[in-house]
Amino acid sequence: MSRRKLVAGNWKMNGLGASLAEFERIRQAAAAVTGADALICPPATLIAAFAGKGLAVGGQDCHAKAAGAHTGDLSAEMLRDAGASAAILGHSERRADHGETDSQVRAKAEAARRAGLLAIICVGETLAQREAGEAVAVVEGQLAGSLPEGATAEGVVVAYEPVWAIGTGRAATPADVREIHAVIRKALSARFGAEGDKIRILYGGSVKPENAAEIFAVPDVDGALVGGASLTAAQFLPILQAAA
Ligand code: PGA
């Protein structure tokens, strides 16, 4: 099964209006790369400014409801309206900072589908869970709870992001990535049949120009979710090129 790779940039809570210039550099550089898909997920305040320029743009979260009395929240429909085509959901920072549960992530994924957004659903164990030998069970549990029924390759991407590898400079080893991606692939195929084989699985956690090629060579790695290294064209472009 050949799946087109996706390199998604997660800007997290970084970026002001002045960042449009760097986005523009990323957009121009990415336009020359045809062998893989690129996506930038800036803070929501910048989605409208970045969208519609030829590089796909996504949100970093959404509310499960379409509208209503939810101060400070944004719906999937609003992200779509602002020009987003995707949303990162259930990132470990949101699970930790906002107590997001698997069932909430699943409801958000259903909202993304309702609004026509690609849902990038994040899973991954903490260091304590890995050291306790629970990594596989944690990821399987998060997948079972966070993925919506009837997930399709067009609507859903899974991102495996071990929490201990995020922002630490210490990416998972190819062997660790291989093991968990195989577990995820098996779970996707068991639950969604042939469609599960088409769903892309990204790795995230300290992906850099230096390690991208090695990570992309691992079976069942269909791209990357990139944090820090997605903030500049100088770092993001070589990762995208490695995917292509
Ligand atoms: P990082 O973040 O690339 O800075 O480790 C990845 C992520 O949290 O999506």
Give residue-wise pLDDT tens across range 50-93.
999 999 999 999 999 999 999 999 999 999 999 999 999 999 99
Token pair of 111, please?
């909202």
As for ligand 1, residues whose beta carbon falls within 6 Å of it are 10, 161, 166-167, 204-207, 225-229
Residue from 11, 123, 166 whose mutation best tests the ligand 1 pocket (most atoms within 8 A of CB):
166
Max Cα separation, the chain? 46
Phi, psi of 163 (to 5 degrees): -60, -35
Q: How far is the CA of 232 from the centre of ligand 1 (A)?
A: 14
In 3-state terms, what secondary structure has residue 128?
helix
DSSP string, 83-102: T--EEEES-HHHHHHS---H
Averaged pLDDT of the chain: 98
* Res 1 pLDDT > 90: no
Confidence of residue 132 (pLDDT cuts 50, 70, 90): very high
Confidence of residue 114 (pLDDT cuts 50, 70, 90): very high
Q: Pick left, alpha or beta for residue 14 (phi over 0 → left; psi -120 to 50 → alpha; otherwise beta).
A: beta
43 HSE (CA, 13 A, CB side):
9
Phi, psi of 39 (to 5 degrees): -150, 140
pLDDT digits (tens, 9 = 90+) for 3-57: 999 999 999 999 999 999 999 999 999 999 999 999 999 999 999 999 999 999 9
Element holding 214 (H helix, E strand): helix 212-216
Please give the pLDDT value at position 2.
84
Residue from 226, 230, 235, 240 whose mutation best tests the ligand 1 pocket (most atoms within 8 A of CB):
226
Residues serving a catalytic function are 91, 161
* Res 99 pLDDT > 90: yes
Share of the chain above pLDDT 90, in %: 99
Query: How far is 16 from 13, CA to CA, in rounded Å?
Result: 10
